[in-house]
Structure 1
Amino acid sequence: MAGHGAQEHPHGADRLCEAGDRVYSRAVRRGRVPRHDADPVPCLLELALLHPDPDDMDWLVPTSPQEVMTRLLRGVYDEVSASQRRMGSAVAAFEWYAALGPQPSPASGTDTAVPASAIRVLEGDSRIQGALDEATQACTTEVLTVQPGGIRPEHELTEGLHRAMALRGRGVRMRDLYTHVARHGQGLLNYLELMGDSVEARTLDEVIDRLILFDRTVAFIPANADRTLALELRHPGLVHYLVTVFERLWRLAIPLTAPLPDTGIEGISHREQSIAALLAEGHQDAVIAERLGISVRTCRAHIARLSETLGAASRTQLGVRIAQVGLDRSRVSSSEAAVIRVAGVPGIPGGHGVPGQESPTGR
């Protein structure tokens, strides 16, 4: 569709074709148009003049003329003298469109005014990438990110490296949250070494879905499972809420340079403790694996080791053992672990172990 539209509509946003002019004008007047109205003019989506309505994906809403004008002018200024003529045409084109829509009333408190495009749907990898690049170029102070999943693939780290290096060159500070599993990825360690003290990383057992925050003014989050849709958020209330979520997770997270805390129970690793807590909540293997950033196969291997260590012959018995030793809580203190050992819970060293069964070493 993208290539077809480019052939039939070889123009920029500052000189729309006749069909595109009609549909975009209608969208500005009415606030939105049915998606099928834009089928004959794919140029409007390709040029980001229309984007999906967050409340109803069967409708498209217009990008405000003022925002389009700003975007065009940013590129125009970069081209300096060779683009002076284009600057004039961009302004001329969108002044007329801006007059079609309702005019904003003067706000009594400009500090609390909501941006015109508080929520924008970005459809397709190129559109998402372009918006991230624009936000990176405008960023001056801080970037906060949450990166779910396990070990980061090398190609993902490479793709984001050019943005990270540009931010570092401007003195922008970055803080990244990962799952504990990401600690085992050499690519991530190499990336952090390359970035030096401009990036600080911490890890948690599990984190929220992907989040990127620039200067605490604009946020990007996925809008569907396969991440072909994203939301660009500029509403101050939403962005403030996401910053608060990040900061609270950050306080709970463990610096990448620090070791993970010991569980206090011999033979049970930190990851197995996390799996046990999620098992106690009733989650299935696939859900646990996704939340902790590991494969289902790895998850089941840890569950098998838990069963062996705790002397459980079935899933039901494993649930009982998890509750007995206190692994159904997210943390087990050293004092609790001492009580467990003294109490002699089956399968725990110091208690009544299963005959002929050795406890595996800590992992």
Structure 2
Amino acid sequence: MAGHGAEQHPHGADRLCEAGDRVYSRAVRRGRVPRRDADPVPCLLELALLHPDPDDMDWLVPTSPQEVMTRLLRGMRDEVSASQRRVGSAVAAVEWYAGLGRQVRPAAPAAEGPAIRVLDGLARIQAAMDEATQACTAEVLTVQPGGIRREAELSEGLHRALALRGRGVRMRDLYTHVARHGQGLLTYLELMGDAVEARTLDEVIDRLILFDRTVAFIPANSDRTMALELRHPAIVAYLVTVFDRLWRLAIPLKAPLPDTGIEGISHREQSIAALLAEGHQDAVIAERLGISVRTCRAHIARLSETLGAASRTQLGVRIAQAGLDGPPSSAASPSLSVPDQGSRTAR
């Protein structure tokens, strides 16, 4: 759609095509328009003049004219000396749209933007992230779920991380324990030095990025091609609290994982045992711990062998008898004996 829109509508937000002008004007007057109305004018979505309504994805809501003006002027700042007439045209056009918007309701202040904004497409997500990075002055908090992070993923955000480090911004990153085994992450952290502090947990929440405790980004669909940009103070404060509580429970990346206190059972197998005790299937356990289903099943097989369980039902009983049906603690458990295993005792 992006390529098609560029060919059919070769213009910017300062000079809309006739069809785009009609649809955007209608959206500003009414507050929103059905998504189908924008099908003939993909330029409105590509230019971020319309975006999905968080309450109903079948509708599109207009970006406030003031916000459009702010974005236009920011992009023209470096070329203003050679583009005076273009700047004047953009301001005049936006002021006209703003007059339409005032007939319905006051627009939100341009500096703050909407409290919740849907970012549809990777290009818009990256642009919003770059803008938040540029404005950040003190702190970035991130939660990165999944297992070992691919080097391509780490490289994708490296330019933002280096820009933040250059301005003295502090970063705190939360990963799953599995991420400890990725060489790409270790190289990234070595490159960033003391600008980044990393900790790990058995499992974390879905991806979360917080800038200066004022703006947050979270996924809006399962394949992460849509995201929500959150600026509502109450929502952002809630997410900061969630992060801080997870951070206190997490283990510094450079510190070893705690011993389970039971010979032959690793920290990861203890985590799997606790999730098995809750009744989760192999695929769910694998996703929550950031490992493959195949790896998860291999751990379950070793766990069954260590505990002397001949079936899944018996494994559940053995897990409870060994005290593995709770979350792994940060310290070694008291001395325990593996049921019916004779010589296998706690270290």
Aligned to 2:63: 63
For residues 65 and 153 of structure 1, the distance between their equivalents in structure 2, rounded to whole angstroms, comes to 40
Work out whether 1:79 is the aligned partner of 2:73: no
Identify which of 273, 287, 292 aligns with 1:290: 287
Map 1:168-187; keep pairs closer than 5 Å.
168-187=165-184
Aligned to 2:152: 155
For residues 95 and 83 of structure 1, the distance between their equivalents in structure 2, rounded to whole angstroms, comes to 19
Q: Secondary structure at the match of 1:178?
A: strand
Work out whether 1:346 is the aligned partner of 2:336: no
Q: Secondary structure at the match of 1:100?
A: helix
For residues 16 and 107 of structure 2, the distance between their equivalents in structure 1, rounded to whole angstroms, comes to 30
Displacement of 1:99 in angstroms is 1.1
For residues 176 and 332 of structure 1, the distance between their equivalents in structure 2, rounded to whole angstroms, comes to 21
Query: Residue 236 of structure 2 aligns to which amino acid in structure 1?
Result: V
CA gap 1:134/1:300 in 2 versus in 1, 3 angstroms:
same
Query: Residue 5 of structure 2 aligns to which amino acid in structure 1?
Result: G
For residues 333 and 44 of structure 1, the distance between their equivalents in structure 2, rounded to whole angstroms, comes to 52
Per-residue deviation, residues 173-199 of structure 1 (Å, max 9, x unmatched): 111000000000000000000000001
CA gap 1:267/1:76 in 2 versus in 1, 3 angstroms:
same
Per-residue deviation, residues 4-30 of structure 1 (Å, max 9, x unmatched): 111111000011111101100110111
CA gap 1:197/1:274 in 2 versus in 1, 3 angstroms:
same
For residues 168 and 179 of structure 1, the distance between their equivalents in structure 2, rounded to whole angstroms, comes to 23
CA gap 1:182/1:350 in 2 versus in 1, 3 angstroms:
closer
Displacement of 1:116 in angstroms is 4.7
Q: Secondary structure at the match of 1:264?
A: coil
Aligned to 2:14: 14
Work out whether 1:198 is the aligned partner of 2:171: no
For residues 343 and 17 of structure 2, the distance between their equivalents in structure 1, rounded to whole angstroms, comes to 77
Identify which of 301, 307, 329 aligns with 2:304: 307
CA contact (8 A) 2:258 2:332 kept: no
Q: Secondary structure at the match of 1:79?
A: helix
For residues 79 and 318 of structure 1, the distance between their equivalents in structure 2, rounded to whole angstroms, comes to 69
Aligned to 1:166: 163
Query: Residue 95 of structure 1 aligns to which amino acid in structure 2?
Result: E
For residues 300 and 348 of structure 1, the distance between their equivalents in structure 2, rounded to whole angstroms, comes to 25
For residues 210 and 318 of structure 2, the distance between their equivalents in structure 1, rounded to whole angstroms, comes to 42
Aligned to 2:267: 270
Work out whether 1:240 is the aligned partner of 2:240: no
Identify which of 121, 140, 151 aligns with 1:124: 121
CA contact (8 A) 1:201 1:256 kept: yes
Aligned residues: 345
Give aligned-pair identity as a percent. 83
For residues 246 and 330 of structure 2, the distance between their equivalents in structure 1, rounded to whole angstroms, comes to 20
For residues 180 and 106 of structure 1, the distance between their equivalents in structure 2, rounded to whole angstroms, comes to 45
Map 1:315-330; keep pairs closer than 5 Å.
315-330=312-327
Aligned to 1:135: 132
For residues 267 and 16 of structure 1, the distance between their equivalents in structure 2, rounded to whole angstroms, comes to 68
Aligned to 2:256: 259
Q: Secondary structure at the match of 1:212?
A: strand
CA gap 1:102/1:227 in 2 versus in 1, 3 angstroms:
same
Per-residue deviation, residues 265-315 of structure 1 (Å, max 9, x unmatched): 111000000000000000000000000000000000000000000000000
For residues 175 and 225 of structure 2, the distance between their equivalents in structure 1, rounded to whole angstroms, comes to 22
Aligned to 1:354: none
CA gap 1:136/1:271 in 2 versus in 1, 3 angstroms:
same
Displacement of 1:318 in angstroms is 0.3
CA contact (8 A) 2:267 2:328 kept: no
Q: Please, which runs of 5 or more residues in structure 2 have no aligned partner? A: none
CA gap 1:52/1:78 in 2 versus in 1, 3 angstroms:
same
Query: Residue 190 of structure 1 aligns to which amino acid in structure 2?
Result: T
The normalised TM-score by structure 1 is 0.91
CA gap 1:334/1:121 in 2 versus in 1, 3 angstroms:
closer
Q: Secondary structure at the match of 1:96?
A: helix
CA gap 1:3/1:333 in 2 versus in 1, 3 angstroms:
closer
CA contact (8 A) 2:199 2:251 kept: yes
For residues 153 and 107 of structure 2, the distance between their equivalents in structure 1, rounded to whole angstroms, comes to 44
Q: Secondary structure at the match of 2:77?
A: helix
Query: Residue 214 of structure 1 aligns to which amino acid in structure 2?
Result: F
The normalised TM-score by structure 2 is 0.95
Q: Please, which runs of 5 or more residues in structure 1 have no aligned partner? A: 352-358
CA contact (8 A) 1:145 1:212 kept: yes
Query: Residue 223 of structure 1 aligns to which amino acid in structure 2?
Result: A
CA contact (8 A) 2:176 2:204 kept: yes
CA contact (8 A) 1:172 1:198 kept: yes
Displacement of 1:136 in angstroms is 0.9
Q: Secondary structure at the match of 1:162?
A: helix
Q: Secondary structure at the match of 1:171?
A: coil
Query: Residue 66 of structure 1 aligns to which amino acid in structure 2?
Result: Q
